[in-house]
Structure 1
Amino acid sequence: MSKITTVFAALLLTFLAQSAYGQKEYKKKIETLKVQKEKIAEQEKEALKLEVQAINERLNNRAITLEEAQRLKEEAAVKRAKNIEERVAIVENQISLLERNEGKTLILLEADTLANDQVRVGLNIDGRPVFNIFSDQWRRNIKYDRRTYSDFVFAIGLNNALIDGQSLDESPYKIGGSRFFEMGWQWRTRVFKNTNFMRFNYGVSFQFNGLKPDDNQYFVQNGNQTELQEFDVELDKSKFRMDNLVFPVHIEFGPSKYHEHKNKFRYSLDNQFRLGLGGYAGFNLGTRQKLKYQRDGERVKDKLKRDYNTSNLIYGLSAYAGFEGVLLYVKYDLNPIFKDAVVEQRNISLGLRFDL
């Protein structure tokens, strides 16, 4: 037991000695920085005196005029005053950092000497690194001419169907209740080298097209025909939804702002008008119907996932227009909603699209 106590006491004394040494070291650094701070003004004033002497020599040798000499002296005085202000601020920040962290500071180590553009961050205690973190993601090569950009896209709005021989006013689907939602990812590539007026947009999107039948109706599949029928009790909700995976392609037109920098140039669409014309093609992922009603005093919710004779291949036309990332969006399926239908129906959507 006495041996354990002795070892523990020795370790404790070692720790306290290290702690005291660390306290002494960082306080010594602070005192050194304070002395440096006091000498900054003297150094800059001495440097200003030498500059003024050199200017006077040039004036005496008639290398410059009196007006030029006066201007150079004023510029030198302003420069030295600024040097004093900034150098003092740097030293004061170093002192504040050491005092606040009691000498334990995070620093960048050898940031300019690591291979592969890496940066290493480490914890430095009393001048010795405790741990290091390496990263090669902090520095990236900037591409001088970036022709392709990408955006997350989502759209939302009203959905319905155009039926052969009927107007939209005669649609059996609720105008306000039938909606669509679309989300996906698009790439936008500049077509020409020296102008951004035309862009080629392409991507992938999920479409969710919903129809809400009116007049207490729902969809019934009878063999190869799908038709609306009246439900035998009052429906609280009747919703039919088609989920599609499509690949949109558009040609986009519109002005853009040209910005040139030292190591790059860019075309910006900020606050610029955009017009896109194109279409899409893809596949139907699934079709489902949701019914809510009450029967014998009990609430019933039916979720029916079936084929409903919907088209497997999806293709259509689409267009959008607007400013920057907020656009009016319309799309129209060229394929019929139901295969081999006696009366063909085609999905149509109108809403807002957001390019983020």
Structure 2
Amino acid sequence: MKNFIIYLAVFIVSSIAKLYSQETFEEQVKVISQEIERITKEEKAHLKELVEQVNSKMEQGIISREQANEEKIKLAEATADNIEKRVEAQEEKLTLLVQQKVEGRIASLDTVKKYGKSYGKGLKVVIGGKDTIQYREKRTTSQLVFALGVNNLVTNQSVANSNYRYWGSHFYELGWTYNTRIFKNDNLLHFKYGLSLQYNNLRPTDNRYFAVHGPQTLLETSAINLKDSRLRNVNLVMPLYLEFDTQPKQVKNNKDVYKIQEGFRFGFGGFAGANLKTKQILKYNDANGDRVTQKTKGDFNVNDFIYGLGAYIGYKETSLYLKYDLNPLFEDNQEKQNNISLGVRFDLN
């Protein structure tokens, strides 16, 4: 089940990345122009070979000079026809591309420069024109997400009198997300989705550590003095958030411009994914006074499937962030405990 969820998450995010990594107008124009140039060079090279064959036949006396010239003219005309036919398909692509650009379905990183060449028999391909096509903002942008803060477990619907250090238990999150403006002419609502790695750390109090007893994972007091005791869970999740951005649209050069993360914003939603690994780290001094770090990897009866709720509120790139796992951390413990995290989140464009 865990592997299936991981594969599914990677597949979905790869599909999203492919969907939103379309080439810009200039890049697609460049590809078409390069293909036209390749076709022309290929046909001319083939014509050169055929002409050399005709010259060879003339030198051997198989055909006269007049016959050779007639054959060369026919070959040149046939080559020009081939170029025209093959380039016609590229012209159709170019026409469709320009139409999509005019309709605003293709983004441009810069103005389109004048570019034109002549190919074949009276065939001229002109790409672009005047430098009047300006940058158009995309409704979907990508962002790097980084969050950090404190982590703990909710027991009996409370974090009071916790068995884990409040300031010593941390969480970190690193992810890649896409931000899509839902409405074409309104900047209020955005849909955010992507993929994140969550690192949730728990440090028990009172010199304790986690011990597995069959299906139960419980805290036990260590016989030696622990310098550090920590349980780390690494989760791969797909976050899905609805974000409200209060930044109004702006008008520049008689065009509507929608900027994000320029003012106050807040979002809420959830996440789902899988636990990738669980590790317990114990640090102590042995009988000789040497420092020892003991790392134990295992499942510790932790739930494989992760799902929860999250919310954030902030200004520009920085926000206060809260997330809560709806699934219990330990699958079969009699006392159900759910992970909760509170910290600061950075959405970096």
| TM-score bin (small chain) | 0.5 to 0.7
Query: Aligned equivalents of 2:305 and 2:143: distance in 1?
Result: 26
Residues 1:346 and 2:338 aligned together = yes
The residue aligned with 2:138 is: 146
Long gaps (5+) in structure 1: 1-110, 116-138
Q: In the alignment, which of 233, 250, 264 is matched to residue 242 of structure 1?
A: 233
Long gaps (5+) in structure 2: 1-112, 118-130
The residue aligned with 2:278 is: 287
| Partner SS, residue 170 of structure 1 | coil
Shift of 1:146: 1.8
Query: Aligned equivalents of 1:340 and 1:225: distance in 2?
Result: 6
Amino acid at match of 1:192: F
Residues 1:160 and 2:152 aligned together = yes
Query: Aligned equivalents of 1:319 and 1:299: distance in 2?
Result: 41
Q: In the alignment, which of 221, 227, 234 is matched to residue 230 of structure 1?
A: 221
Matched residue pairs, number? 221
Structure 1 runs of 4+ with >4 Å offset: 111-115
The residue aligned with 1:316 is: 308
Q: Under a length normalisation based on structure 2, what TM-score does the superposition of the two structures give? A: 0.60
Query: 1:201/1:142 Cα in 2 relative to 1: closer, same or farther (>3 Å)?
Result: farther
The residue aligned with 2:189 is: 198
The RMSD of aligned alpha carbons is 1.9
The residue aligned with 2:247 is: 256
Query: Aligned equivalents of 2:286 and 2:220: distance in 1?
Result: 18
Query: Aligned equivalents of 2:175 and 2:255: distance in 1?
Result: 29
Superposed CA deviations along residues 24-49 of structure 1, whole A, max 9, x for unmatched, are xxxxxxxxxxxxxxxxxxxxxxxxxx
Query: Aligned equivalents of 2:156 and 2:261: distance in 1?
Result: 42
Query: Aligned equivalents of 2:277 and 2:253: distance in 1?
Result: 52
Q: Is the 8 A contact 1:144 1:265 kept in 2?
A: no
Amino acid at match of 2:319: L
The residue aligned with 2:294 is: 302
Query: Aligned equivalents of 1:243 and 1:147: distance in 2?
Result: 32
The residue aligned with 1:274 is: 265
The residue aligned with 1:215 is: 206
> Identity over aligned residues, as a percent?
45
Shift of 1:195: 0.6
Amino acid at match of 2:165: K
By relative contact order (CA 8 Å, sep 6+), the higher-ranking structure is 2
Amino acid at match of 2:329: I
Shift of 1:299: 2.0
Larger Rg: 1
Q: In the alignment, which of 175, 197, 220 is matched to residue 166 of structure 2?
A: 175
| Partner SS, residue 204 of structure 2 | coil
